[in-house]
Amino acid sequence: MQGGAAGLAYRGRTASIGFAHGPFVRVDAGAAGERVAGTLVEEALALRNAIDVASGQIADLAASAGGEAAQILEFQVALLEDEDLIEAVFASIGEGRPADIAWRSTLDAQIADYNSAPDDYLKARSSDLADLRDRVVHILRGDQGQPLKVPSGGVVCADDLPPSRFLEIDWSGGGGLALLRGSPTSHVAMLARARGIPMVVQLGTIPDIGTTALLDGEGATLELDPNAEQVRTFEKRRDSHLKSRASARAILRRPTASWRGERIKLFINIQRVEDLEHADAQYADGIGLMRTEFLLAGRSVPDEETQFQAYDAVLRWAGQRPVTIRTFDAGGDKPVPGFTLDGEANPFLGVRGLRLCLARPEIFAVQLRALARAAIRGNLKVMFPMVTSADELEAGRKLFADIVQRLLADGIAAMLPELGIMVEVPAAALAVSSFKAAFFSIGSNDLAQYVLACDRSNGALAPLMDPLHPAVLELIARTAEHGRRAGISVSLCGDMAGDPRCLPALLNCGLRELSVNASALAQIKHTIDRLSSGGSVG
């Protein structure tokens, strides 16, 4: 979907579910005028003053916002108090740069640093830094930054939007947020979810014109100047969403979900131990995917004890429930300095996931030791990502088994957990019976990217990147069918598991185990309930 005229629609990625119909408001930050530079001392004083003003503005916002928003803003205030950062800017002023240029270039370097972090969470923090950069530059250039004025219920559209700008907007009359770039893991996305503001990110290029807009946070679409028919179908979708949301929370407490008499197991995906604090997590049947890459967010690979503590904490939380931990899936869109290879021409088709771990056994061994020790503490399953051939699984298994033997020989309690693989490379789905895996988990994000030849992070390809494409569904169905015949569990942990519109197709493909973000659990359970009683996805 694309275009520049009335009635056309644009598709991005969901950051917060919900619906908004209102005036279309572009709020991109305008460039403030140039600063006339003074002496070195004047520039240094101007910088100090601008930082104080910015700190004060953010602290005021934090005080009026409270709760989670205040915590998020504290991160920004702490950054403004980072003397190392400020010293670097002073040094740059000392070299003769005006305060605004010195501040901007130092912050730009920091932002680039955050952007190259392997972890989505850290990457998303770069927009907080960009906010500080722009806020201080505007103050230095004599523009104190007027609070954003948005008409009640407006659909706000920006390139990206930092938390502090989000909090300046009065959302009490509803409205929504449409970002051309942005990320579902950004702070502003967390705030939007917490406040129930619909938000769609990575919409690509949108024309500046437009009077009214329909924002569908569920279908991840933005429709500009819609016609009467578009408004009618939008309102239908919105009404059924509102109805289903009200019943979803009640359904969450029920013990099981079932479809056509078969039990559907619903697990959650986590990235970090803190994700278990989500209020709905307790209702999950277990953890279907723990992405361990977050442990690589620091500058070096964490030691065995740090890793063991993280895995152990998750197993303790889960009790008897199964916990599936995925070994490091670095590489591709998740480079890790010192671990992944530099300069690959095509990293998505490069040495990533299990390929990389097998190429760096000294790093992999540390993770496998921690997992082998944690395995005795609960119901642990371990899976390898980005597996192409059965030999890779066997190579990983051999390394793991040798490590367990060595731990036991040293008198350290350990065991080999159940071993499974992610099915996310088309070859693995097509030759699924060649793998001696204890379980399979379908990574539909990567599977779709490789089947459809669409880089998953390229917003321009969003309309083509359709996980419901028959070719993707065919591979999912094949994998599920193999599991059913062989008596091997098959789950799906990619984003489509958390998308209610994909559920009928996934259930019809034969899947009975899904793993979703905790925030999607209620909606998915509710949707299964509706489908099983003959209703629609709604």
* Closest listed residue to residue 333, CA positions, set 117, 172, 9, 488: 117
Give me 285's structure tokens. Answer: 């049947």
Residue 219, interface with ligand PEP (CB under 6 A)?
no
Residue 292, interface with ligand PEP (CB under 6 A)?
no
Residue in 145, 217, 420, 443 binding ligand PEP, rule: CB under 6 A: 443
**Secondary structure of residue 266 in the 3-state scheme:** strand
User: How far is the C-alpha of 220 from the C-alpha of 474, rounded, in Å?
Assistant: 24
Q: Could you tell me which stretch among 250-258, 314-322, 395-403, 437-445 binds ligand PEP (CB under 6 A)?
A: 437-445
Residue 43, interface with Mg ion (CB under 5 A)?
no
Contact mark string toward ligand PEP, 454..493, x via CB under 6 A: ---------------------------------------x
Give me 65's structure tokens. Answer: 């916002």
Give the footprint of ligand PEP on residues 147-176 (CB under 6 A): none
Q: How far apart are the first and last CA of the chain?
A: 22
Identify what 494 binds: Mg ion, ligand PEP, none; CB under 5 to 8 Å per kind.
ligand PEP
List residues with catalytic annotation: 187, 493
CB of 445 to ligand PEP, least distance (A): 3
Contact mark string toward ligand PEP, 395..424, x via CB under 6 A: -----------------------------x
Contact mark string toward ligand PEP, 295..334, x via CB under 6 A: ----------------------------------x-----
In the complex with ligand PEP, the residue whose CB is nearer, 45 or 349, is: 349
CB of 221 to ligand PEP, least distance (A): 22
Contact assessment for residue 297 and residue 121, using Cβ atoms and an 8 Å cutoff: yes
- Cα 505–Cα 120–Cα 27 angle in degrees, nearest 5: 90
User: How far is the C-alpha of 178 from the C-alpha of 163, rounded, in Å?
Assistant: 14
In the complex with ligand PEP, the residue whose CB is nearer, 210 or 385, is: 385
Contact assessment for residue 289 and residue 345, using Cβ atoms and an 8 Å cutoff: no
> What's the one-letter identity of residue 55?
S
How is 450-504 classified by DSSP, letter by letter? HHHT--TT-GGGTTT--TTSHHHHHHHHHHHHHHHHHT-EEEE-SGGGG-GGGHH
Q: Could you tell me which stretch among 338-346, 443-451, 476-484, 506-514 binds ligand PEP (CB under 6 A)?
A: 443-451
In the complex with ligand PEP, the residue whose CB is nearer, 8 or 330, is: 330
Residue 444, interface with ligand PEP (CB under 6 A)?
yes
In the complex with ligand PEP, the residue whose CB is nearer, 347 or 538, is: 347
Q: Could you tell me which stretch among 85-93, 152-160, 238-246, 444-452 binds ligand PEP (CB under 6 A)?
A: 444-452
* Closest listed residue to residue 282, CA positions, set 310, 248, 255: 255
Residue in 125, 187, 265, 291 binding ligand PEP, rule: CB under 6 A: 291
User: How far is the C-alpha of 348 from the C-alpha of 89, rounded, in Å?
Assistant: 37
CA distances in angstroms from 310 to 271, 303, 316, 369, listed in the order given: 11, 11, 10, 13
What torsion do the CA atoms of 195, 199, 201, 206 make, to the nearest 10 degrees? -140
Q: Could you tell me which stretch among 90-98, 146-154, 310-318, 440-448 binds ligand PEP (CB under 6 A)?
A: 440-448
Residue in 230, 388, 445, 508 binding ligand PEP, rule: CB under 6 A: 445
289: left (phi over 0), alpha (psi -120 to 50) or beta: beta
User: How far is the C-alpha of 231 from the C-alpha of 249, rounded, in Å?
Assistant: 28
**Secondary structure of residue 6 in the 3-state scheme:** coil
Residue 446, interface with Mg ion (CB under 5 A)?
yes
Contact assessment for residue 330 and residue 296, using Cβ atoms and an 8 Å cutoff: yes
* Closest listed residue to residue 213, CA positions, set 30, 28, 19: 19
CB of 214 to ligand PEP, least distance (A): 29
CB of 311 to ligand PEP, least distance (A): 17
Contact mark string toward Mg ion, 389..428, x via CB under 5 A: -----------------------------------x----
User: How far is the C-alpha of 356 from the C-alpha of 373, rounded, in Å?
Assistant: 23
Residue in 443, 483, 498, 500 binding Mg ion, rule: CB under 5 A: 443
Residue in 119, 218, 280, 446 binding ligand PEP, rule: CB under 6 A: 446
Contact assessment for residue 326 and residue 290, using Cβ atoms and an 8 Å cutoff: yes
156: left (phi over 0), alpha (psi -120 to 50) or beta: beta
In the complex with ligand PEP, the residue whose CB is nearer, 213 or 421, is: 421
In the complex with ligand PEP, the residue whose CB is nearer, 130 or 451, is: 451
Identify what 444 binds: ligand PEP, Mg ion, none; CB under 5 to 8 Å per kind.
ligand PEP
Q: Could you tell me which stretch among 176-184, 300-308, 443-451, 480-488 binds Mg ion (CB under 5 A)?
A: 443-451
Size of the site for ligand PEP (CB under 6 A): 10
Site residues (vs ligand PEP, CB under 6 A) = 289, 291, 329, 424, 443-446, 493-494
Site residues (vs Mg ion, CB under 5 A) = 424, 443, 446
